[in-house]
């Protein structure tokens, strides 16, 4: 997460807080809500569009979380850039008390959408998008991330709203459950 504070000559203050990881998490939630608001039988194209967007945002987020954790565990950025998703997951799963995760079906759907190839069946991909299974799998993956986050003692993403509260109201407790009014060290 990065932030910029700009003070104009008149004394007004502007805050900009940026966390791509947080933004992609919010994008996933936006598209998931949008998919939930669409009658997939009445407008399957619109529903598929929302689910596809949610899938891509979710896996960008998930891989971003793994990348942050792996770097904190001491893996060099140059090594990380050449690693496959499955290898990244194995690094996290080998930590004490972090359970293994099976998500091959969701990963394959993500790969089919991200890497469109002539041997993919568009009808099969459509069926996977319309059956609604992805969001159940995503919930399971989020649960795994929360469990791994607690075991590793690493956050999944910066708490941008809490950080903004801290900047705007430094004497007030942060509303997100953090009882400290200071900026967390992990930022």
Residue tagged 């939630």 (tokens):
29
Predicted local distance difference test score (pLDDT) of residue 9: 86
pLDDT of residue 106: 61
Q: Length of the chain in residues, anyone?
A: 187
Q: What is the reported pLDDT for 177?
A: 43
Question: pLDDT tens, 70-122?
Answer: 988 887 777 777 788 788 888 888 888 888 877 666 666 666 666 555 566 66
DSSP 126-184: HHHHHT-HHHHHHHHHHHHHHHHHHHHT--SS--HHHHHHHHH-TTSPPTTS----SPP
Structure tokens at 34: 């949008």
pTM over 0.75, yes/no:
no
- Domain boundaries defined on the chain: 1-19+158-187, 21-154
pLDDT, position 112: 64
φ and ψ at 16, to 5 degrees?
Answer: -130, 120
| Segments of the chain scoring below 70 in pLDDT | 1, 3, 16, 103-125, 128-129, 172-187
Residues 6+ apart with CB under 8 A from 69: 92, 148, 152, 154
- 3-state DSSP assignment of residue 13: strand
Q: What's the half-sphere exposure (Cβ side, CA atoms, 13 Å) at 129?
A: 27
């Amino acid at each position: 997460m990065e932030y910029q504070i700009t003070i104009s000559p008149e004394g007004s203050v502007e805050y900009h807080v940026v966390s791509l990881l947080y933004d992609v998490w919010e994008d996933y939630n936006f598209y998931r809500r949008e998919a939930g608001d669409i009658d997939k039988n009445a407008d399957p194209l619109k529903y598929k569009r929302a689910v596809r967007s949610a899938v891509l945002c979710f896996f960008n987020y998930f891989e971003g979380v793994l990348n942050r954790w792996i770097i904190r565990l001491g893996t060099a950025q140059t090594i990380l850039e050449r690693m496959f998703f499955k290898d990244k997951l194995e690094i996290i799963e080998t930590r004490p008390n972090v359970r293994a995760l099976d998500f091959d079906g969701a990963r394959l759907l993500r790969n089919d959408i991200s890497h469109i190839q002539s041997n993919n069946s568009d009808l099969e991909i459509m069926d996977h998008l319309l059956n609604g299974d992805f969001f159940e799998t995503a919930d399971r993956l989020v649960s795994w991330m929360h469990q791994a986050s607690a075991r590793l003692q690493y956050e999944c993403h910066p708490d941008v709203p809490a950080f903004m509260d801290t900047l705007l109201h430094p004497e007030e407790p942060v509303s997100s459950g953090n009882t400290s009014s200071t900026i967390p060290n992990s930022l």
